[in-house]
A and B are shown apart, each in its own frame.
Chain A
Amino acid sequence: MNVEVMANSVPKLLDGLALTIELVALALAIGIVIAIPIALARVSGRAWLNGPAFAYVFFFRGTPLLVQIFLIYYGLSQFETIREGPLWPILREPYWCAIIAFTLNTAAYTAEIFRGGIEGVPHGEIEAARALGMSRVLVLRRIILPRAFRLALPAYGNEIIILLKASALASTITLLDLTGVARTIIARTYMPIELFAMAGAIYLVVTFAITRAIKALEHWLSPQTRPPRPA
């Protein structure tokens, strides 16, 4: 183990970490926006809504993210119509290809997590809200989604970690994320063990911090489970 090389690599690796976090945060944010309607379509009970939503979820959960990234980055650019098309300025950038792949992937998993959350909301609460005269949309906004979000939080926390780890694949399409930077340094130092161990340690610190943050959030959102405060 060459400790000097490991120590010297840290600033560059942290630059890479910044890109990793940026990619993951953006993909998660857009992913949630896409996941909610898909989850609602899944529980709608209508075949024409559920069918396409199921197919989407099935494809993105049934194939490796690596295949999805390559399909979007190298695959789409095979077609002249896409290269001449209006979306090319976005699709030509590896950054956006990574965001698109991560987003579509995480949206599929998130949709299933939300579906579980929505199905977990007690029927009595929905009936009660309806009985109080709330409209369907209001029930969705005030009762179902907030409750579903709380129920889905532990599983969603796992999804954040999984996406963070999966984002290491951004390095396969020229991006200099944490893994990409490590590989670039290895290309000139020939010390894969040192660099991958260092990068792995940084991932570990981040995943650990996220796990803790989610736990704290769960605790904060469940006041009923906390011991009563002394008067």
Chain B
Amino acid sequence: MVDLQGFGTQLLLGAALTLELAFASTALGTLIGLGLASLKLSRSRLGRGLADSYTTIFRGVPELIIVLLVYFGATIVLTNVARLFGSAEPVELHPFIAGMLALGFAFGAYAAEVFRGALQALPRGQIEAARAFGMSRSLAFRRVALPQVWRFALPGLGNIFLVLLKDTSLVSVIGLEEIMRKTSIAVSYTKEPFTFYLAAAVIYLVMTIVSTIGLGAMERRANRGVRRAAR
């Protein structure tokens, strides 16, 4: 690694935090997305309405604003919730958690559409067969639908992950010392904005390349055993 006037290590530390944040947000977003997709496909009109409003809002408001709103707003909401349970202590939200929530919420909104598509791509007959075997609705969903949804959803989820990876840079505005924040600190020290923002760009590019390769491998693994027509 180039030394970058002593800031090389700091940038790498930032990169590690960026990755942690990206993975944590992806985990949260995947769960939210799956929940929303089931709601969207449910028979409950209320459920569908709620899920649709959620995706409209979180896909229509800039991620930067979501990050800032969660950072300033969540503390107040959480403190009030804690008060309901009799705690007078203010609940503090670490920037990492605030960032994870904000990015996870946004990821969930996009993932919901991907999962919905994936669930709809399932051959109906399979679910009917599972039901005919006497599986309950939820068991059929868990045993038959979910394991296959993964395969259909992976390419879409991969794209959202790549977007999320870059959106982690927005969390620098609430003080989390990921790549962007570390870079700004280095710039204010060295007065060499071009050098350091370019270094940051290179780190993001490397992470994108590695993620793309990783996602490709995961897709191949998910598709093993899928029969293809001979070409």
In-complex A–B contact (CB below 8 Å)? yes
Chain A residues in contact with chain B, CB under 8 A?
58-59, 61-68, 70-71, 74-79, 161, 165-169, 179, 192-193, 196-197, 199-200, 203-204, 207-208, 211
Neighbouring A residues of B170 by C-beta, 8 Å: 64, 66
Q: Is the interface of B mostly helix, strand, loop or mixed?
A: helix
Give me 12 other A-B pairs in contact (C-beta within 8 A), A62-B208, A64-B168, A199-B65 excluded: A59-B205, A62-B205, A63-B204, A64-B180, A66-B180, A67-B180, A68-B201, A71-B198, A75-B194, A168-B62, A200-B65, A207-B59
Can you name 23 A-B residue pairings with CB atoms under 8 Å?
A59-B201, A63-B204, A63-B208, A64-B167, A64-B169, A66-B172, A66-B180, A67-B169, A67-B201, A68-B201, A70-B197, A71-B198, A74-B197, A78-B191, A78-B195, A79-B194, A165-B60, A165-B62, A165-B63, A196-B72, A203-B60, A204-B56, A204-B60
Q: Say yes or no: B60 contacts A192, CB within 8 Å.
A: no
Query: Distance (Å) between the CB of B106 and the closest chain A CB?
Result: 10
Query: Distance (Å) between the CB of B126 and the closest chain A CB?
Result: 29
| Residue among B59, B166, B197, B208 having the largest count of chain A Cβ atoms under 10 Å | B197
Option from B60, B72, B200 in Cβ contact (under 8 Å) with A207: B60
Q: Say yes or no: B180 contacts A204, CB within 8 Å.
A: no
Task: Assess A168 versus B64: contact at CB under 8 Å? Given A71-B197, A74-B197.
Answer: yes
0/1 interface trace, chain B 59-74, chain A, CB 8 Å (1 if under): 1111111101100110
Q: Is the interface of A mostly helix, strand, loop or mixed?
A: helix
Q: Say yes or no: B60 contacts A208, CB within 8 Å.
A: yes
Task: Assess A70 versus B193: contact at CB under 8 Å? Given A62-B208, A192-B72, A208-B60.
Answer: yes
Q: Say yes or no: B72 contacts A64, CB within 8 Å.
A: no
Chain B residue with minimal CB distance to A72? Answer: B197
Q: Say yes or no: A67 contacts B200, CB within 8 Å.
A: yes
Task: Assess A62 versus B62: contact at CB under 8 Å? Given A71-B194, A74-B193.
Answer: no
Task: Assess A165 versus B68: contact at CB under 8 Å? Given A67-B200, A67-B201, A193-B76.
Answer: no
> With A and B bound together, what is the CA distance between A88 and B197 in angstroms?
20
Query: Distance (Å) between the CB of A107 and the closest chain B CB?
Result: 17
Q: Say yes or no: A75 contacts B72, CB within 8 Å.
A: no
Chain A residue with minimal CB distance to B206? Answer: A62
Chain A residue with minimal CB distance to B63? Answer: A165
Neighbouring B residues of A74 by C-beta, 8 Å: 187, 193-194, 197
Neighbouring B residues of A179 by C-beta, 8 Å: 62, 64-65
| Residue among B59, B60, B198, B200 having the largest count of chain A Cβ atoms under 10 Å | B60
Neighbouring A residues of B89 by C-beta, 8 Å: none
Is B217 in contact with chain A by the CB < 8 A criterion? Answer: no
Q: What 3 pairs across the A-B complex have the smallest Cβ distances?
A: A75-B194, A74-B193, A207-B60
Q: Say yes or no: A193 contacts B69, CB within 8 Å.
A: yes
Chain B residues in contact with chain A, CB under 8 A?
56-57, 59-66, 68-69, 72-73, 76, 166-170, 172, 180, 183, 187, 191-195, 197-198, 200-201, 204-205, 208-209
> With A and B bound together, what is the CA distance between A58 and B59 in angstroms?
24
Q: Say yes or no: B61 contacts A203, CB within 8 Å.
A: yes
Task: Assess A193 versus B62: contact at CB under 8 Å? Given A64-B167, A64-B180.
Answer: no
Chain B residue with minimal CB distance to A165? Answer: B62
> With A and B bound together, what is the CA distance between A68 and B198 in angstroms?
9
> With A and B bound together, what is the CA distance between A4 and B66 in angstroms?
22
> With A and B bound together, what is the CA distance between A71 and B187 in angstroms?
11
Option from B72, B172, B194 in Cβ contact (under 8 Å) with A78: B194
Query: Distance (Å) between the CB of A114 and the closest chain B CB?
Result: 17
Q: Say yes or no: A63 contacts B201, CB within 8 Å.
A: yes
Neighbouring B residues of A64 by C-beta, 8 Å: 166-170, 180, 204
Q: Say yes or no: B205 contacts A193, CB within 8 Å.
A: no
Chain B residue with minimal CB distance to A172? Answer: B173
Query: Distance (Å) between the CB of A13 and the closest chain B CB?
Result: 12
Neighbouring A residues of B201 by C-beta, 8 Å: 59, 63, 67-68, 71
> With A and B bound together, what is the CA distance between A208 and B195 in angstroms?
39
Option from A63, A78, A192, A204 in Cβ contact (under 8 Å) with B68: A192
Chain A residue with minimal CB distance to B205? Answer: A62
Option from A161, A193, A197, A200 in Cβ contact (under 8 Å) with B59: A161
> With A and B bound together, what is the CA distance between A78 and B76 in angstroms?
42
